[in-house]
Amino acid sequence: MDNLSVDHLTGIKDLTPRDIEIIFETADSFKEVINRPIKKVPSLRDITIANLFFENSTRTRLSFELAEKRLSADVVNFSAASSSVKKGETLVDTVNNILSMKVDMVVMRHPNPGAAKFLSERIDARVVNAGDGTHEHPTQALLDSYSIREKLGSVAGKKVVIVGDILHSRVALSNIYALQKQGAEVMVCGPTTLIPKYIGELGVKVEHNLRKALEWCDVANMLRIQLERQDIKYFPSLREYTMLFGLNKELLDSLSKEIVVMHPGPINRGVEITSDVADSKQSIILNQVENGVAVRMAVIYLLASKIER
């Protein structure tokens, strides 16, 4: 088995196309494991992993924890809300205290962009970025690409539109990097106020008409409106946003071709996507959730193989 070219997963930007292939090939093996009656393998029985979540998370945290336990790793969960961070302790001090308990790998979600990279340069443990502010969310992008590959056979040559709050989304940026590295064409679609000014420099198309974007694409990835990150109003109302950029069954059925619908979750049903679209046969949202465990198992396993024992 090939090794990854990186020692940490802090962002998709650092990965090579071959790294992504290696992760997907490894995930294929783990997908078989998690569909067996006995869903555990002893691969990481002597590895300890700390999950450090400085931001709220349900799906990502559960997915990582399940992936770690499927690999038989020892798992330590850390929540910033009930920690000494509230007393003014620095990030590095917090993590070094945890590492002194002989932790081998850290999975971290943090509100500040670049926190995972900052940490990876200062501690003697493997670091996996579970989302850093509005910067990157690499494992989400990997599981999204993996799900497209599973559904359509490959990512290369496919047209993918990312719809919604591009400005505040770490998922959007990681997806753009991942899809382009695999040879896909990428478009972003949303209100002008939610499209970053630099987006053209990334080589993506920009469209403000949802129907035109959907007619162009093979895959539509519908993002959640991140109201908790918005310090000002970027559009008049959720109702108006839904009228212009929400995907409903009527619009989906009126397209000239059948497209694949994705959503990184959590879904605001009736805002960016209606229930009948989320639950339709064109939706692969639940496949994304299942694939998240296999992809995260692959990332953890491959990085753990680089730990010096």
pLDDT value of position 229: 45
Q: What is the pLDDT of residues 12-65, one digit of tens each?
A: 999 999 999 999 999 999 999 999 999 999 999 999 999 999 888 888 999 999
Is 59 catalytic? The answer is: yes
Residue from 60, 134, 139, 242 carrying the catalytic annotation = 60
The side-by-side arrangement of strands in the sheet containing 159-163 is 205-207, 185-189, 159-163, 219-222, 260-262
**Is 309 labeled as catalytic in the residue annotation?**
no
Q: Tell me: the pLDDT tens digits for 226-261?
A: 655 445 566 768 888 899 999 999 999 999 999 999
Confirm whether 122 is a catalytic residue.
Answer: no
Supply the pLDDT for residue 307.
85
Q: pTM score, two decimals?
A: 0.93
Reply yes or no on whether 87 is catalytic: yes
Of 13, 59, 159, 229, the catalytic one is 59
d(CA 22, CA 20): 5
What is the CB neighbour count within 10 angstroms for residue 235? 18
Say how far apart CA 176 and CA 81 lie, in whole Å: 32
Q: How far apart are CA 3 and CA 75, in angstroms?
A: 24
**137 is an active site residue:** yes
Catalytic residue among 137, 170, 181, 263: 137
